[in-house]
């Protein structure tokens, strides 16, 4: 399906009035037991609410005092509603984004090319996978696809929010286009790669709506743990009734329900769905489409990052800067042969060689091209060239590939070639060797620059326990020089697609989780094998289908941000779980003495908060248990601030802030509520 896409608008505030209104409504709708049973912890609270409600109604009918029972019922109801509100608010933010995207979607006209070459005008909604369409300057691209003919400047601001136009060209790793973007120059032919309803816009809508959100493995594991804790406390509370009878203590069913609700992990149980939804929301805010929540979560557990040198570690605009001929070869001949060998190289590097040669006065004879066979550059061969009609074979490419090719032709390698290659490599440049038949002519020097700040980013990743591996097609000397300058932990030089795949498998065999990015068809196997595969939106369809994430900005450094988003999700969930469980300690000291202090005065020593009465103690604990959920909603939705540090430091910080804080906060909160209840006359 096509459309005019738009970057999803983010609500100005977490508690935006429109979102709050929708969330309040959905909070009541979620009281449906069929919905609540998906969250076992809160389902137990809902059942407890029904039990206390029945007791309240019975007391009213029988003319007995019912104030305490009614108060507990109302508080338990609000506990469930607050938990529902947290989830509903997260979902409402997603639905608001989806509405924004839908409003941007519009039917456009497309010029579909028939098999016989004729052009017919059809609705963009009628386009099917495999259709070819013509798009000229000033027209909207009617659907997601790949350019199969031509080159054009495209405005992708509707998708990425970036106003600067980009160049997309057929036959390269930047041939992908997105429906709803606008062609600014030239005319291109696009092959549609998605059927109606499968475009990026449609995927974004489905993602942000989260209607059928699947729980991630870690979320499922935590849910099982919380359910087990709930079951344990249920058994413990159930045994208190006969124990109370044994010591001649009177304990009401309402009080036992209140005790159960306060001891089970209601805080994290209520916030857990919102944390997961918010994690997906942050990924989308970063302009990353994740095919599942699992991908975002796994990103937080990544051990090894495979990063392409070009565009990620370096600026990525390698340019030919000089020609260096071997001894006995004329500079002009080297320049002309490098020019000829680069005609079939569509990469920016190949084009820069042609431009540098022409600037130096190189002009190829017409007969050189007539009847010639062009050898296109590929990531696998790492060379390009031309076979002329008169039998001349000219090649340009990586030094190891060209030297091997020359030897296959029966030639020998000049003694000074290695010196020239190594000199360029030691300076961080990329040497490309040029040969004609069995004769090596010289070297083309390519220069690139390491990105500012990349060293700091790698240092942060190292603190996080991540190993970074730079992948490049450069020779080992160049790779080693740039890896050292950038601060990468390791490098893979002269890498082929098979090498990338093999390295990923080797890391996984060691028990590591691996992430990588890619944009070309040759990257597809590695993207599919990686635990987190980030494909560029500008890349080929094969790459986007193989990866489990797609970066709409086509920014190679986005992989680093994705890892941080994943870690923030895990840290937020862990921190709030720690806080929730720590809460139970304080609530234990509030309620247990209140239950048995009358019959067992010795338990009064546990009343460390000096609460006024058993009634105020229990009510204070239940009130605090209810209000802490909405208080923590901003933390759940925004996420706990992430600071790169070691696992030990992160654990210590978590225990200090959310563990100790989770114990202290309820003591203070419950005591203050007790004082307030006492002031208003509750005894």
Cβ neighbours of residue 668 closer than 8 Å, sequence gap 6 or more:
none
Neighbours of 315 (CB within 10 A): 13
Calculate the alpha carbon distances from 77 to 45, 53, 71, 220, 428 in Å: 8, 10, 10, 25, 66
User: Strands, DSSP E only, in 527-588?
Assistant: 532-536, 549-551
561 within 8 A of 282, measured Cβ to Cβ = no
How far apart, in whole angstroms, are the C-alpha atoms of residue 615 and residue 681? 12
Would you name the residues annotated as active-site residues? 308
DSSP state of 10: P
State how far the Cα of 617 lies from the Cα of 608, in Å rounded to an integer. 12
Burial class of 167 by CB neighbour count within 10 A (0 to 12, 13 to 18, 19+):
middle
N- to C-terminal Cα distance for the chain?
A: 65
Per-position DSSP letters for 171-220, written without gaps between them: TSTT-EE-TT-EE-SS-EEEEE-S-TT-SHHHHHHHHHH-TTPPPPHHHH
CB distance 446 to 321 below 8 Å: yes
H or E segment to which residue 134 belongs: strand 132-135
Rg (CA), the chain: 33
Distance of alpha carbon 49 from the chain centroid: 39
Report the phi/psi class of residue 610: left, alpha or beta, with left for phi > 0 and alpha for psi in -120 to 50: left
The Cα-based distances of 301 to 439, 512, 514, 566 in angstroms read 51, 9, 9, 8
What the block records as the tokens of 74 is: 């109302």
List b or e across 628-639, with b for residues whose CB sees 16 or more CB atoms inside 10 angstroms: bbbebbebbbeb
**Half-sphere exposure (Cβ direction) of 71: Cα atoms closer than 13 Å:** 15
CB proximity list for 380: less than 8 A, separation 6 or greater: 496, 497, 522
- Degrees, nearest 5: CA angle 189-117-1: 45
Compute how many other C-beta atoms are within 10 angstroms of the C-beta atom of residue 132.
18
CA nearest to 591, candidates 632, 621, 563, 562: 621
DSSP lists the bridge partners of residue 386 as: 374, 394
Rounded-to-integer distance, Cα 475 and Cα 382, Å: 11
* Closest C-alpha among 552, 323, 542, 361 to residue 441: 323
* Distance, CA of 495 to CA of 517 (rounded, Å): 14
Q: Which of 57, 56, 48 is nearest to 76 (CA)?
A: 48
d(CA 220, CA 70): 35
CB 540 within 8 A of CB 556: no
Dihedral sign for Cα atoms in the order 296, 300, 303, 309: positive
Rounded-to-10 torsion of CA 565, 569, 571, 577:
170
């Amino acid at each position: 399906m096509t459309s005019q896409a738009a970057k999803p608008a983010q609500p100005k505030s977490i508690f935006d009035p429109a979102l709050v209104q929708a969330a309040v409504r959905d909070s009541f709708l979620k009281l449906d037991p069929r919905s609540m049973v998906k969250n076992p912890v809160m389902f137990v609270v809902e059942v407890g609410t029904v039990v206390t409600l029945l007791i309240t109604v019975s007391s009213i009918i029988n003319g007995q005092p019912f104030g305490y029972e009614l108060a507990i019922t109302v508080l338990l109801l609000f506990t469930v509603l607050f938990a529902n509100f947290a989830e509903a608010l997260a979902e409402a933010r997603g639905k608001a984004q989806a509405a924004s995207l839908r409003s941007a979607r519009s039917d456009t006209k497309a010029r579909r090319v028939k098999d016989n070459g004729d052009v017919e005008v059809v609705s963009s909604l009628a386009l099917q996978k495999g259709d070819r369409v013509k798009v000229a300057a000033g027209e909207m691209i009617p659907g997601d696809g790949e350019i199969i003919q031509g080159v054009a400047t495209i405005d992708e601001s509707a998708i990425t929010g970036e106003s600067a136009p980009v160049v997309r060209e057929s036959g390269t790793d930047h041939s992908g286009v997105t429906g709803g973007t606008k062609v600014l120059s030239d005319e291109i032919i696009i092959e549609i790669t998605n059927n109606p309803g499968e475009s990026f816009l449609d995927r974004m809508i489905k993602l942000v709506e989260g209607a059928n959100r699947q729980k991630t493995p870690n979320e499922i594991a935590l849910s099982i743990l919380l359910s087990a804790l709930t079951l344990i406390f249920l058994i413990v509370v159930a045994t208190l009734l006969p124990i109370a009878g044994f010591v001649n203590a009177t304990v009401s069913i309402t009080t036992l329900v209140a005790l159960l609700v306060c001891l089970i992990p209601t805080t994290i149980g209520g916030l857990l769905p919102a944390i997961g939804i918010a994690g997906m929301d942050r990924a989308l805010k970063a302009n990353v489409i994740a095919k599942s929540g699992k991908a975002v979560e796994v990103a937080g557990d990544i051990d090894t990052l495979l990063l392409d040198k070009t565009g990620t570690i370096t600026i990525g605009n390698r340019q030919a800067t000089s020609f260096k001929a071997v001894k006995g070869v004329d500079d002009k001949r080297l320049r002309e042969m490098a020019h000829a060998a680069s005609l079939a190289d569509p990469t920016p590097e190949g084009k820069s060689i042609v431009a540098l040669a022409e600037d130096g006065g190189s002009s190829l004879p017409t007969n050189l091209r007539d009847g010639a066979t062009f050898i296109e550059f590929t990531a696998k061969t790492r060379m390009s060239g031309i076979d002329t009609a008169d039998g001349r074979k000219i090649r340009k490419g990586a030094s190891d590939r060209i030297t091997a090719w020359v030897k296959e032709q029966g030639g020998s390698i000049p003694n000074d070639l290695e010196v020239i290659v190594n000199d360029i490599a030691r300076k961080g440049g990329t040497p490309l060797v040029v040969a004609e038949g069995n004769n090596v002519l010289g070297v083309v020097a390519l220069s690139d620059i390491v990105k500012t700040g990349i060293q700091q980013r790698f240092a942060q990743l190292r603190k996080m326990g991540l190993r970074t591996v730079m992948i490049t097609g450069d020779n080992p000397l160049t790779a080693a020089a740039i890896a050292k300058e950038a601060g990468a932990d390791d490098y893979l030089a002269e890498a082929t697609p098979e090498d990338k795949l093999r390295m990923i498998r080797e890391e996984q065999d060691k028990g590591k989780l691996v992430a990588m990015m890619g944009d070309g068809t040759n990257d597809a196997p590695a993207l599919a094998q990686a635990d987190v595969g980030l494909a560029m939106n500008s890349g080929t369809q094969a790459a986007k289908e193989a990866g489990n994430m797609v970066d709409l900005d086509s920014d190679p450094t986005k992989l680093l941000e994705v890892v941080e988003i994943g870690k923030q999700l895990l840290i937020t969930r862990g921190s709030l779980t720690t806080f929730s469980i720590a809460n139970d300690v304080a609530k234990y000291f509030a309620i247990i003495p209140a239950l048995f202090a009358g019959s067992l005065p010795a338990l009064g020593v546990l009343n460390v908060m000096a609460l006024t009465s058993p009634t105020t103690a229990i009510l204070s604990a239940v009130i605090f248990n209810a209000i802490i959920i909405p208080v923590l909603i901003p933390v759940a939705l925004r996420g706990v601030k992430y600071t790169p540090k070691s696992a030990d430091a992160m654990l210590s910080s978590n225990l200090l802030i959310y563990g100790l804080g989770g114990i202290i906060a309820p003591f203070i909160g419950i005591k203050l509520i007790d004082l307030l209840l006492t002031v208003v006359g509750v005894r």
